[in-house]
Every structure is written in structure tokens, then in C-alpha cells.
Amino acid sequence: MKVVKIATVRRSNGFTLVELLVVVSIIALLISILLPALGRAKEYAKEILCATRQRNLAIGWNYYAMDNNDVILPGRFGKDNGSNLYWVGNGWKYRPRWVATMGALVGAIPFDHPATSKANGGDRQDYTNDVYKCPAAPERVDERNYAYGYNYQFLGNARNSPSGEGYRNFPVQVSSIMAGTTVMAADSMGTAAAYPASQRTPYSNDGRETTSLSNHGWSLDPPRLTARSDRGTGDFGSPRTAVDPRHGGKVVVSFCDGHVKSMTPRELGYVIEEDGKFSDDGNNRLFSGTGEDDDPPPVW
């Protein structure tokens, strides 16, 4: 009798093509689920770091008032007939903006070599200390085109008045405001806020284009402006400035009592038109210092 042998098929230890495709598909699905979450976590980390840096700087705001008979730090010191030099921790600086003075008071040196005159670059230095950088916009370090803007109109506008006599709104006393509900500073878009989103251009260090992000960003205009209020660069006809919701649609805001929180432009009182342009028809309740929708101090 003849015996017939039946051949057996040996299965290899590797994956079949179908199994491999299934594994690849599962991995791809997991990546598609995890990447947005990781992206959000990264952006949230930037927001937290931004808040921490603003909080540290805000401590200096209160130190300034304690050292100066309750007078609030102005957005920028006005021009006078003296030297226009102010101490910033490691030297004398020509007319520093608000944040450099605040930072110096808490030991955060703003410049490696403070410039002592406008002629040698004192008007447009770059901040060199990391504490002055917004993690979501670390390139915005020009002291004029800066990432953080100051509520200068209500807290201390030491620009010379158009008449040439005195300042526009300075001095202002801490005792005259409600510190816990008054915005001190926030992420700033600069004069680009006055344009539709489609017309805004990238940040330009040392630039002067009003459409550029953070152009003249150190000065933060309140939500509602009038025909007689200051705005933007301080020049007649200047576009307005406003906040920059660069943290996932929110703005990191520091208040005069030192607390910091993230808010939307709408929560802050700003009105944004359909094209992205910031309107002048907002509400100044969180900027005025009184808790009311007051007009900005008139200067024209």
C-alpha cells in the first residue's frame, strides 16, 4: 500500500502584510489623537510661563509706587530739560519704558549695556533678559515694538502734552485706583490691531510699519477710545493699539495688585469686527481704575 505524504505549510514568525497594515493604521490613529493634545499641552506651558514672567515683573510695579510717594510708574518717562536718564539696575538708561524700570526693581536686568542717549541707540534697545520675553512671541524684544503693552492712558501717560505744557496724564496715585480690578499690562498686538487680520504683517524688530505685529506694542490702548483720547504712537492720526490673543485665543493679563490671569479680548472689553479689526467701541471698566466705563483722559 502506497503512503501519501501530506505537505505541511510552516508559518513564519513575522507579521503578514495584513497584520502589518493593521498595526501601522493603529499607530497612525494614536498619533492623530495624541498630537493635538501634545500641541495644546505645549501651548499651555507657554501660557503658564508667560503668566509667571508677567507676575514677576508686576511686583516691581508696586515697588516703584512705594519708592515714589504712591505715584504710579508712567508708560515711559517724559522728555525734560535734564539728562533723561533713569537707573535700570546696571546703569543709567535714556528714557526707559515701563517694563525695564519694573524689572530692574526686582533684579531682572533688562539690558546688557543700557544706552545713555537717543543718539547711541537709547530709543530702540532690545531686552536681553529672558524674563522680558513672551514664550509665544520670543522674537518681540524691541523696547518700542514690544510683546507686552502697558495701560498707560489711565495709569500714567508722561508723554508731553500737545500744548507743550506738562504731561498728558501724569502723575497718577495708586490710592486713586482699584488695583485688584485694573489692568496693568497684557499681551499686545500694537498698532496692527487697528487693521483687518488679512492686512497685518509680521513683527519687525526696529521697524515702524503700523501694520506690523507689536509695532509700538509697549503702549496698550484701552478698549474704548474717543476722538480726544491718545492712541498708539501718540502722534495725531496714529492707529490704535490693542491686546494680542496669542495664547490659544486668550490674552495673559497682569493686574495692578499683582495677580495674573488669561482672558479673551471680549472679556477685557474689546470689540473685534468681523474682519479682525479692533473697534474703538469697547468698554473700559477693567482699565479705568474706577471699575466704570470711563473715557480715557482727553489730550487733544
Instruction: Identify the pLDDT of residue 2.
Output: 59
* Cα–Cα distance, 206 to 83 (Å, whole number): 24
Residues of the chain with pLDDT under 50: none
* Cα–Cα distance, 244 to 137 (Å, whole number): 10
pTM of the model: 0.87
* Residue of 183, 185, 285, 187 whose CA lies nearest to 245: 187
Asked whether 159 and 78 are in contact (CB, 8 A), the reply is: yes
Instruction: Identify the pLDDT of residue 35.
Output: 63
Where do the structural domains in the chain lie, given as residue ranges?
Answer: 17-268
Asked whether 231 and 241 are in contact (CB, 8 A), the reply is: yes
- pLDDT tens per residue across span 60-95: 999 999 999 999 999 999 887 677 999 999 999 999
